Structure 1
Amino acid sequence: MKASYAKPFFVAALIILADQIIKIWVRTHMYLGEEIKFLGNRGMLHYTENNGMAFGMELGGEIGKLVLTLFRIVAVIAIGYGLVHLIKHKYHRGLIMNVALILAGAVGNIIDSTFYGVIYKYAPLFHGRVVDMFYFPLISGHFPKWFPVWGGEDFVFFRPVFNLADSAISVGVILILIYQKRYFKQEEPEVSSPNSEVVEE
């Protein structure tokens, strides 16, 4: 593998490895629902599992779970192919690294949903649950009664529990959106005007 290919895939591999180490540690050292606080009530490990997408979103039923896992696998293949294409055609290095982050996050969660059910003996292949653990309820309070829709209800920011793979996907996508003009800037060839050259007789 050429050096230009090695760095983004090496970064992706490190993220996948770190993600799995954290998940395996949480699953083997914590019970479901247990919390280990490291920033008081504002930051903690909160062991939970979900059947669906990033940040705990789900598709219903066993069929929905299977469809989601298969979709993830297809998506990872497409992202991997896209990453190779970007490297081969010398796209912006920032874009390449951000796509590598997205690839790493997708692979990290696919490992859970594809193999964890079999490894930990609670579900068949493709029906595993994704392990989440990072929880940062930074702000909590109540919506005022006059507030539309949620008036009088409690709110927490940031409510979702997530993992390192989710973070990698989010960072990659957000940075691509922020720097898209830089990443996809097209170099326009200079067009010389008819009068730009002096013809000597």
Structure 2
Amino acid sequence: MKGPAVRNLLLASVTGLVIFFDQLTKLHIMQTMRLHESIPIVPNLFSLTYIRNPGAAFGLLAGSSNAFRMVFFGLTSIFALVLLCTILYRMPERDWVGRISVAAILGGAIGNLIDRLRYGEVIDFLDVYVENYHWPAFNVADSAITVGVIFLIVHFAFEKKQHPPAAPENTSSSVSTA
């Protein structure tokens, strides 16, 4: 294997590892904790709390009907996966930060899609809070998506723009002699 094959294998590995660890951690939480059980890890800051989120990020659309959510999330997931694959395909091969970031986002999107297909909702368990102020619970897939997006934003913000070379002056014009 050379060149593009190795690079594509690395990107597929990033995506696959995100999916693997996302699903492994969710399975562990479901097998070892009761729904809504919370285990403090760092008091007043971080707990493992097993919840199921039928909605989108931050519980949006959680009150909608199951049929609406399945159609909505099915269509948006397909759109997002096609978009991410297109972005990944069109990114320059030398743009490693961008490509690995998109591969992590893709893995996270697939991890949460697997939950929606299997359970009709997403398994969340990472609970960050200060006293009684909680950030919405999240999971490994959400973390990969967030970190991937942050890396992309920072990467594109500081990326040096390469200007295309200036077109050579037209030297093919005829010189008339009088």
TM-score by length of 2: 0.82
1:169 aligned partner: 145
Q: How does 1:78-97 map to 2 (within 5 A)?
A: 78-86=83-91, 89-97=92-100
The 1:23/1:61 distance shift into structure 2, 3 A limit, reads same
Q: CA deviation at 1:180?
A: 1.1
> How far does the alpha carbon of each residue in 1:28-50 deviate from its partner, in whole angstroms, 9 at most, with x for none?
11111101111123111000001
Q: 1:109 aligns with which of 97, 101, 112?
A: 112
Q: Which runs of 4+ in 1 moved over 4 A?
A: 190-193
Q: 2:7 aligns with which of 4, 22, 46?
A: 4
Query: 3-state DSSP class of the match of 2:42?
Result: coil
Task: Between the two structures, name the one with larger relative contact order (CA 8 Å, sep ≥ 6).
Answer: 2
Q: CA deviation at 1:173?
A: 1.1
2:65 aligned partner: 61
TM-score by length of 1: 0.73
1:159 aligned partner: 135
2:90 and 2:67 map into 1 onto residues whose CA distance is 33
Aligned residue type for 2:25: I
1:107 and 1:131 map into 2 onto residues whose CA distance is 13
> How far does the alpha carbon of each residue in 1:45-85 deviate from its partner, in whole angstroms, 9 at most, with x for none?
00000112234333522233113321213311331232123
1:181 aligned partner: 157
1:139 and 1:95 map into 2 onto residues whose CA distance is 37
**1:134 pairs with 2:126:** yes
Q: CA deviation at 1:108?
A: 0.5
Give the aligned CA root-mean-square deviation in angstroms.
Answer: 2.2
Contact 2:104 2:148 in 1 (8 A): yes
Query: 3-state DSSP class of the match of 1:137?
Result: strand
Contact 1:41 1:137 in 2 (8 A): yes
Greater Cα shift, 101-110 or 174-183: 174-183
The 1:139/1:92 distance shift into structure 2, 3 A limit, reads farther
The 1:139/1:21 distance shift into structure 2, 3 A limit, reads same
Q: 1:46 aligns with which of 41, 46, 49?
A: 49
1:62 and 1:186 map into 2 onto residues whose CA distance is 48
Aligned residue type for 2:105: I
2:130 and 2:165 map into 1 onto residues whose CA distance is 50
Contact 1:92 1:183 in 2 (8 A): no
Which one has the bigger helix percentage?
2
Query: 3-state DSSP class of the match of 1:179?
Result: helix
**Structure 1 unaligned regions, length at least 5:** 117-127, 141-155, 194-201
Contact 2:115 2:122 in 1 (8 A): yes
The 1:192/1:77 distance shift into structure 2, 3 A limit, reads closer
**Structure 2 unaligned regions, length at least 5:** 170-178
2:56 and 2:160 map into 1 onto residues whose CA distance is 28
Seq. identity, %: 31
